[in-house]
Amino acid sequence: MFSLTACLAFLENEKDEEAFLRYYERYHRLVLYEAEKIVGPSAAEDVMQNTFVYIAKHFSTFRSGSSKKVTHLAALCARRRALDYLRRDAKQAGHPAGEPPDEDTDSVFADAALGVERKALLRARRRSLHVVRKTLVAAVIVLSMLFATLMTNAEMRAAVVNTLIEWTENFVRIQYEVEGKGPAVLPEGYGPHYIPDGFVYQEELSYSYSTRFSYAYESTDRTSMLNIEVGIAQTLSGYVMDNEHIDYVPVPFNDVTAYLGTFRQHDGYVLLWTKDNIEHQIYLESSTIPLSEVYRIAENIY
């Protein structure tokens, strides 16, 4: 059972506790959703507990910055805790504590995640989508077209049979169902080969498996944030995107149609594209890094 008291114990004063309660009220649905998507409903509450305990321990990091950054960090942290949960389960199934999992173990929790994602898809099909705000309708239509456009490869267009869209007051979740068999794992060594100077890798907010990785970076002066997420396109993979502060436009990139998101009130960009059955997302929030650097990062993911 989820306990807010266990989280509040890590906060230093009453003011922080009040701020954390507001944070929880705003983001707990997003965190629970991200957890359930990976570990299933039976374990999602445990993952949510681990996520909010971690956030409470590092609350100064998670509460600071724009709404876009805070939302992104909350989703990122939830996914990391969920994958850690699957890793522990895999170890308990036959690997001693402390022993790093081999490729077979990696497949165990990757397959487990895929299995619960498919179950979540069936549940999602049973739920009717309700319009929360009429102003979101246009955004939802555009974002639905976004993922259809991203599938520029003919084989991928045939594989994507349904796009699921769910929205709340603060963010839109875009996912798709894939039929047919693509690559089982990412190519060996696939990853970013260029990171702008001044960024430091954030291990606690990052993860890497054979089918997906997410690498987080923060500038040494803590004014800029960079996240690179790459994975094999599969059923219910996709992204959580801010629907209040980012405008998206189609752009040509690397022989496919990508989508570039530009922050309305703060400096920053999101770049999304899918090629060869691999989906990519670059998220940059910075007042000093130009758009050209986003493209340079993207061009050096291979």
DSSP string, the chain: ---HHHHHTT--SHHHHHHHHHHHHHHHHHHHHHHHHHH-HHHHHHHHHHHHHHHHHTHHHHHSS-HHHHHHHHHHHHHHHHHHHHHHHHHHTT--TTPPP-HHHHHHHHHHHHHHHHHHHHHHHHSPP--S-GGGHHHHHHHHHHHHHH--SHHHHHHEEEEEEEE-SSEEEEEEEE-S---SSPPTT-SB----TTEEE-GGG-EE-SSEEEEEEEETTSS-EEEEEEEE--TTEEEEEESSSEEEEEEEETTEEEEEEEESSSSEEEEEEEETTEEEEEEEE-SSS-HHHHHHHHHTB-
φ and ψ of 87, to 5 deg: -60, -45
pTM: predicted TM-score of the whole model, two decimal places: 0.61
Residue pair 168/29 in contact (Cβ under 8 Å)? The answer is: yes
Mean pLDDT of the chain: 75
- Does the pLDDT value for residue 270 go beyond 70? yes
The radius of gyration of the chain's CA atoms, rounded to the nearest angstrom, is: 19
Q: Which of 210, 234, 211, 226 minimizes the C-alpha distance to 281? A: 226
Question: Does residue 49 or residue 169 have the better pLDDT?
Answer: 49
The reported pLDDT for the residue numbered 291 is: 96
* Residue tagged 């396109």 (tokens): 233
196: confidence class by pLDDT, cuts 50, 70, 90: very high
Question: Per DSSP, what are the bridge partners of residue 176?
Answer: 163, 237
* Residue tagged 């850690």 (tokens): 84
Q: Which of 251, 250, 227 minimizes the C-alpha distance to 239? A: 227
| For range 197-202, the mean pLDDT | 95
* Residue tagged 């970013």 (tokens): 192
Instruction: Locate 258 and state its tokens.
Output: 């990508």
The reported pLDDT for the residue numbered 199 is: 97
- Does the pLDDT value for residue 158 go beyond 70? no
The reported pLDDT for the residue numbered 151 is: 40
124: confidence class by pLDDT, cuts 50, 70, 90: very low
pLDDT digits (tens, 9 = 90+) for 8-17: 999 989 999 9
Q: What is the dihedral of CA 263, 215, 298, 142, to 10 degrees?
A: -40
The reported pLDDT for the residue numbered 165 is: 54
* Whole-Å CA distances, 1 to 9, 71, 267: 16, 24, 40
| For range 143-156, the mean pLDDT | 42
Task: Say which range, 43-47, 76-80, 129-133, 214-218, has the weakest mean pLDDT.
Answer: 129-133
- Does the pLDDT value for residue 143 go beyond 70? no
Angle at 153 (CA atoms; ends 107, 33), nearest 5 degrees? 50
| For range 27-54, the mean pLDDT | 90
